[in-house]
Structure 1
Amino acid sequence: MDGKGILNVRNRSFSLYLLIAMVFLIVIVVGLVSVNDYNNTKKMFDRNSQHLQRQTEQDIIATIRLTDESYTLYDTSLNDQMRRGFDAVLLEYQRTDGIPSRMDLMKIKHDLGDPFDIYIINESGVIEFTTYAPELGLDFKKTPYFFTYLTTIRNSEGFFPDHIVEEMSGSGQLRKFAYMPTPDHRYVLELGLAKPAFSGERSAIQYREAVDRIASANPYIDQIRIFNVWGDLAGNSSVEPDSSTRIALEQVTRQRGDLSVARPETGQTVKYLFIDLKSEQYGSDPSRIVEITYDDTLFMKNAGEHAQFHLLIAILALIVGICSAFVLSRHLSDPIAGIVRDVDRISDGDLDWKISPTNLKEFQVLEQSINRMVLSLKTGIMEVQDEKTFQQEMINQLPVAVFVKNATDGKYIFWNKTSEEIYCLKISDVIGKTARELFPEFMAKEIEAHDRETIINGRCARNRNGPDAQNRGRFFHIVTVLIPDSAGKPRYILGMAQDLTGEAALLKQDLISSITRGDILDQLAVIMNSLERAQLKTSEDAIQAFFDNTIGSVESIRNQIGFMRTLQDLGIVSPKWQNAATAFESAIALMSVSRTDIRAETGNFEVYTDPLLPRVFYELLENSHRHSGRQLTAIRLSAHISEKSLHLIYADNGVGIPCDQKQKIFEFRYGTGTGMGLFLVREILGFTAITITENGEPGNGVRFGIIVPKGKWRVRE
């Protein structure tokens, strides 16, 4: 959407936006008030329900503790009767010299009365002898805390009463128990008093009815059950609790603390209250576990009704507020309608239009501000257009190619006239396209690689050989610079390219001429030396040998001069396809007469490189002869393909190159002579991305590896 579309939303009015804003504000206010009121009421509701829950649980605990105190008073009233009963049992134990099997327990039971039963518990916590057959052999080790209690009694002195509790075996009737150790501390004597009146007397102080009345006052309680520490339902041990309840009861008993269990599938929460009634004075544990099942669904239902009430009030408030907002928005938007229409006309491009005057002070200020802004905008647009025209024309007249592309997608957005001349592409064909849409694949890949380097390093400079509009070989120097946005992220790539064909040709010619002059002077020195030495010889054969050397040197000078003339006629800038073996033979022709066995075993491989390839091979040959002397007898140039690259191997059997000089020999003016031979070799090959390294073994000759990348070599059919 353009700027005009943003200002000219014809299907909506300012009054509508004002109404929406007011409605939005009303919704926020009503919503916040309603939510706040609901939350406060809900918190109060939660506090009341929690208080009711705590009060209910505290009342239940108090009722059970009060009932237990009543039981304790009743139990205590029977202690003297139980103490007197132990006198007869101890007399019988002493009569039999502490041998329980010889004791007449039934006679003692008869003397004490039928309600009494006698138990003799051994050191292992097992009832070994008793008048109550159902509990014979009962093992108290299965109840660790009670076995510990019995062991303490056995090792102590005195009388130890217990509560009225249900017997662990038999019919489960209520019994009053008491314990006393034997004088020799080998056994614990136990008396159990079972009166039929126990049930009736204790029923008068039962807590169940009081607990039910307390629970009925709490509408959220669904069920209450009371268990003993054995997990049996108090008052009805025949009812077996389910497995989940049994697990919860065991956990409560083990930790002797309360526990809450949520049951979301039934909408209930079960609270287990542990009421600790155990006394150190008694062995049995009369503690109770009260299971209270709360109905959460009732609470949620009440909360839902409360929320519905607040929602109804909020809806009524919204309806009243929206109606008021509608009337008010219509009234406030009328003065603005005229300004909107004027601004809409200005946004359509009529910058000469003025905002209509109004009678309100605030809108008069707005009117004047908009008129000044439009005038400033009009002036600024004209200045920007003039500046843009000036910059465009200035860049178009530059003698270098200038282009700009997006750093993200690589699409060109600017292309000056010099770029059209250098790249032979019109601006209308370039803008909005990428390198892959404009150039051959190999060239597009090269450009993309340089773009990535520019984004990483901030700039990239490179040289490139290529044809111009007349398909003549040219040499270009290209520099690209990254232009980031305000956040520092890559946005544009600015590129400049300059045709340096003439400068490169002159530089290369000067370099070759300088080296050639040095070689010719060397050959002239050989000729002069041979002539001087020939004058000293008397035999015709010796003189002829010196003349042969002189002729070879003259021939070398003539070939080098001819090679330079050929380069001047053909041009020495643009690369071309050259047969490697032919170029090597041309290099041999530039040499003076040599007895060295020189051969090229390269087959029909052709290399796309600088026309000075023969000069490359000549410098390698000259280097071998200059440094190896008489040891040199053979030179070979071979070729093989490895990993899609062509490897040309130049090797001789001379003295080789020391390891510490293998890199230095390619430096400018290193070594004897001009010091530019191997430097020239590396530079000439580097114009077409061909590399050269020396990896021979010192003492066994040189081995130069020339690696020609894919696309720069071929096999001539």
Structure 2
Amino acid sequence: MTATGGGGRRRRRFGTHLLLIMILITLPVIGLISVLDCREVEEAMTAGDALLREQTGESIVQSLRLTDAGLKLFDGTLDSRMAEGFGPVLAEYERAGRDPGAMDLARVREELGGEMDIYIINESGVVEYTTYPPDFGLDFRKLPSFYDRITEIRLGDAFVADRVVAESASGVLRKYAYLPSPDHRYLFELGLACNATEAGHYAPDYQALGEDLMRLNPTLKEVRIYDCYGRFINVTRLEGPVVPTSVDPVAVAIFEEREDRTMVDGAAGTITRYIFVDLSDPGNPSDTSLVVGLIYTTASLDARIAEVRFSHAVIVLFASLAACCIAVPVSRRITRPVQEIVDDVDRIAGGDLDHRIRVSTGTEFARLSESIGIMVDSLKENIRRLRESEEAVRQYDARLEDLVRERTAELEESGQTVNLFLDIMVHDINNANTIAIGYTQLLIDVLEGERQEIAQKMLSGIEQSSSIIGRVATLRKAREVGAALVRVDLDRVIRAQVAGHLAARVRYEGRPVDVLADDLLPEVFLNLLGNAAKFGGPDVEITIRVAEHGDEVTVSVEDTGPGIPDAVKKGLFGRFWKGEGSPAGAGLGLYICRTLVERYEGRIWAEDRVKGRPECGTVIRFTLRKAG
């Protein structure tokens, strides 16, 4: 089924097209199914990984809450011991004359058994004196809520016990308590380092907790726990309360906002999940809440996704090869009956109309073969009838040509007769009008009063009749004359028409310019000036302007008459149009102007002399081609 086009271009077989169509349909379908399945598997793996991270976060939060609950049980057993410890501190404060700088804090610590550290916090919330050097200079104003609480305690009179907390540097459990100075200038704080034996059962083992979580979740790379200062707990031994290199600003921000946050680092292949664990208690000054940083690696998930993508790519490749192998025999089986029908049709097209179409297998192909056979029989019958009718058509065409020649000759003769009658009528009517105008003028000169007015109206009617005959002659000439346009001096034409127009005041603003027209161009100005004078009234002022725009000249005829409404402007240049309240006439003036301007390949239209105010007069504009 390969054919060659009229231009020698070789066309592909139908079987080739069918094979290409089958491949182009099958391959995208296979690819789409594979992509959708791959995406679904990736989404399931990603969702499972996210769910595991969520469960890991919930597990560590529950573990920290359980640990905090155990510390609370141990915490209550130390309150009375802490209250008794403030006795020596108050006695030393009074002995030093209430001057903390004169207090012997080391001696007081020894008196307390060396288990309690002493802190003296000034009004600004800063640890001004202490027996525990790492906390010297600690500024609690950085924790506004805690600062407000200790200020409230300093201004009060009651002993307040705080929570047992683990130090970030050493992990040692400490119990804190507060008592205001008698003059409320300072706040005394005691910090008891809990006995390792008695506190060991309650001490949180964050390192073991992290190891357990990483065993449960292989993607968990690291576990970090931060206190309210953003410091690592059980990670770095600090020299002071706050070491910039040991503080995580993200943890600080999360502690202040008290909201969880997730950060993804695509370059490093990590996902860091910060979780705020709220362990605060309104009854304690310190906020023991923690921030947990869980750092996950995406390497395992990325490797599994890459493996899934590779396997789907291999499946698509093998499925595509299989589809191509199946498409070849299927397309051949489908196109074989079509090939037989095409061969038979080619023989019939070559002129062998008696050749019969072979009946192929399949109901549809059998019906197609029968339909082609019926079509060939009908074609043979139509050819026979066509040949019989050719002679009749030939005879009819010859007769029709004779009739057309006869009718054409009759029309030409009728047209000549009409033109002859029209010439005789124009000539005779003009002669009669000329004589009537002369006698009527004599009557006007000799008559007086009412009779003179009647004679004047007769003269106006005769002049109008003569004008109509002149316009009809102009239209006839414009339609019949087919001469080419010539160079015409537009300035001379306008000046001649202005000089011959005495009915109104006419001002001309222009300069010499040549346009393409003929000897009928003065008729345009004659009609436009006549209309402006007739409809404008006795005081009308007329202005003619000429402007050049490239290869085109625009002529404007302006008047100060009553103007033309916008609704009338569209049909103004139609045949037999007459203005409202105008004198009787044929209404051919503006139609003649349009006919002549269009003959000169120009345009003509009407506008308000003052835009948007029709009552201020009208301007008729038309364009002409400039002579090169």
Q: Specify the TM-score bucket, using the shorter chain as the normaliser.
A: 0.5 to 0.7
Q: Which residue of 2 aligns with 1:525?
A: 440
Q: 1:261 to 1:185 in 2, by over 3 A?
A: same
Which structure 2 segments of 5+ residues have no match? 409-414, 449-458, 598-602, 610-616
How far 1:58 sits from its partner (Å)? 3.6
Q: Deviations over 1:468-502 (max 9, x none)?
A: xxxxxxxxxxxxxxxxxxxxxxxxxxxxxxxx999
User: Structure 2 residue aligned with 1:642, among 541, 547, 562?
Assistant: 547
Q: Deviations over 1:110-157 (max 9, x none)?
A: 432333333343444344555557756643222212112213434473
Please give the residue correspondences for 1:282-431 in structure 2 after superposition, counting only pairs within 5 Å. 282-320=284-322, 322-345=324-347, 354-358=356-360, 360-373=362-375
Q: Deviations over 1:28-68 (max 9, x none)?
A: 67556655664565455445434443443344334444444
Write the letter of the residue equivalent to 2:167.
E
Residue 711 (str. 1) matches residue 616 (str. 2): no
Contact kept, 8 Å, 2:71 with 2:202, in 1: the verdict is no
Residue 188 (str. 1) matches residue 187 (str. 2): yes
* Distance in structure 2 (CA, Å) of the matches to 1:598 and 1:319: 92
* Distance in structure 1 (CA, Å) of the matches to 2:133 and 2:50: 51
Write the letter of the residue equivalent to 1:140.
F
Q: Which residue of 2 aligns with 1:424?
A: none
Contact kept, 8 Å, 2:206 with 2:234, in 1: the verdict is no
Q: When the two structures are superposed, what TM-score results if normalisation uses the length of structure 1?
A: 0.58
How far 1:215 sits from its partner (Å)? 0.6
Contact kept, 8 Å, 1:4 with 1:348, in 2: the verdict is no
Contact kept, 8 Å, 2:164 with 2:173, in 1: the verdict is no
How many residue pairs were aligned? 557
Q: Which residue of 1 aligns with 2:121?
A: 121
Residue 145 (str. 1) matches residue 138 (str. 2): no
Please give the residue correspondences for 1:459-498 in structure 2 after superposition, counting only pairs within 5 Å. none
**Greater Cα shift, 609-618 or 254-263:** 609-618
Q: Which residue of 1 aligns with 2:82?
A: 82
Q: Which residue of 2 aligns with 1:403?
A: none
Q: 1:174 to 1:365 in 2, by over 3 A?
A: same
Q: Which residue of 2 aligns with 1:427?
A: none
SS in 1 for 2:624: coil
Contact kept, 8 Å, 1:261 with 1:271, in 2: the verdict is yes
Q: 1:501 to 1:164 in 2, by over 3 A?
A: farther
Q: Which residue of 2 aligns with 1:163?
A: 164
* Distance in structure 2 (CA, Å) of the matches to 1:623 and 1:31: 81
How far 1:243 sits from its partner (Å)? 9.1
Q: 1:53 to 1:612 in 2, by over 3 A?
A: closer
**Greater Cα shift, 508-517 or 146-155:** 508-517
Q: Deviations over 1:82-101 (max 9, x none)?
A: 12212444566688998867
* Distance in structure 2 (CA, Å) of the matches to 1:50 and 1:61: 17
SS in 2 for 1:710: strand
How far 1:81 sits from its partner (Å)? 1.8
* Distance in structure 2 (CA, Å) of the matches to 1:144 and 1:383: 111
Contact kept, 8 Å, 1:75 with 1:176, in 2: the verdict is yes
Q: Which residue of 2 aligns with 1:56?
A: 56
Q: Which residue of 2 aligns with 1:462?
A: none
Q: 1:74 to 1:344 in 2, by over 3 A?
A: farther
* Distance in structure 1 (CA, Å) of the matches to 2:507 and 2:291: 110
Say what the alpha-carbon RMSD is for the aligned residues. Answer: 6.3
Write the letter of the residue equivalent to 1:643.
E
* Distance in structure 2 (CA, Å) of the matches to 1:226 and 1:202: 20
* Distance in structure 1 (CA, Å) of the matches to 2:117 and 2:216: 45
Q: Which residue of 2 aligns with 1:233?
A: 232
* Distance in structure 2 (CA, Å) of the matches to 1:283 and 1:582: 110
How far 1:368 sits from its partner (Å)? 1.4
Q: 1:22 to 1:76 in 2, by over 3 A?
A: same
How far 1:371 sits from its partner (Å)? 3.2
How far 1:262 sits from its partner (Å)? 0.9
Write the letter of the residue equivalent to 2:158.
E
Write the letter of the residue equivalent to 2:56.
T
* Distance in structure 2 (CA, Å) of the matches to 1:197 and 1:161: 19
Which structure 1 segments of 5+ residues have no match? 401-417, 419-499, 534-552, 651-655, 697-702
Contact kept, 8 Å, 1:226 with 1:233, in 2: the verdict is yes
* Distance in structure 1 (CA, Å) of the matches to 2:280 and 2:356: 97
Q: Which residue of 2 aligns with 1:215?
A: 214
* Distance in structure 2 (CA, Å) of the matches to 1:505 and 1:686: 27
Write the letter of the residue equivalent to 1:227.
Y
How far 1:235 sits from its partner (Å)? 1.7
SS in 2 for 1:178: strand
SS in 2 for 1:176: strand
**Greater Cα shift, 321-330 or 297-306:** 321-330
How far 1:208 sits from its partner (Å)? 0.2
Contact kept, 8 Å, 2:119 with 2:188, in 1: the verdict is yes
Return the structure number with greater relative CO, CA threshold 8 A, min gap 6: 2
* Distance in structure 2 (CA, Å) of the matches to 1:512 and 1:199: 144
SS in 1 for 2:248: helix
How far 1:364 sits from its partner (Å)? 1.6
Contact kept, 8 Å, 2:280 with 2:287, in 1: the verdict is yes
**Greater Cα shift, 302-311 or 503-512:** 503-512
User: Structure 2 residue aligned with 1:260, among 251, 262, 265?
Assistant: 262
SS in 2 for 1:113: coil
Q: Deviations over 1:341-369 (max 9, x none)?
A: 22455567877754222354443222113
Contact kept, 8 Å, 2:271 with 2:297, in 1: the verdict is yes
* Distance in structure 1 (CA, Å) of the matches to 2:254 and 2:276: 7
Residue 688 (str. 1) matches residue 596 (str. 2): yes
Percent of matched pairs sharing the same residue: 28
Write the letter of the residue equivalent to 1:710.
L
* Distance in structure 2 (CA, Å) of the matches to 1:622 and 1:213: 109
* Distance in structure 1 (CA, Å) of the matches to 2:430 and 2:247: 106
Contact kept, 8 Å, 1:56 with 1:215, in 2: the verdict is no
Q: Deviations over 1:261-319 (max 9, x none)?
A: 11111222222233333333433333333322222232111222233334434544554
* Distance in structure 2 (CA, Å) of the matches to 1:156 and 1:130: 22
Write the letter of the residue equivalent to 2:175.
K
Q: Deviations over 1:231-281 (max 9, x none)?
A: 222123358999999343233222323221111112222222333333334
Write the letter of the residue equivalent to 2:82.
M
Contact kept, 8 Å, 1:228 with 1:288, in 2: the verdict is yes
Write the letter of the residue equivalent to 1:214.
L
Q: Which residue of 2 aligns with 1:489?
A: none
Q: Which residue of 2 aligns with 1:448?
A: none
How far 1:530 sits from its partner (Å)? 5.4
* Distance in structure 2 (CA, Å) of the matches to 1:282 and 1:116: 19
Contact kept, 8 Å, 2:178 with 2:189, in 1: the verdict is yes
* Distance in structure 2 (CA, Å) of the matches to 1:667 and 1:613: 21
* Distance in structure 2 (CA, Å) of the matches to 1:249 and 1:306: 37
* Distance in structure 2 (CA, Å) of the matches to 1:622 and 1:193: 119
Contact kept, 8 Å, 2:508 with 2:543, in 1: the verdict is yes
Contact kept, 8 Å, 2:168 with 2:234, in 1: the verdict is no
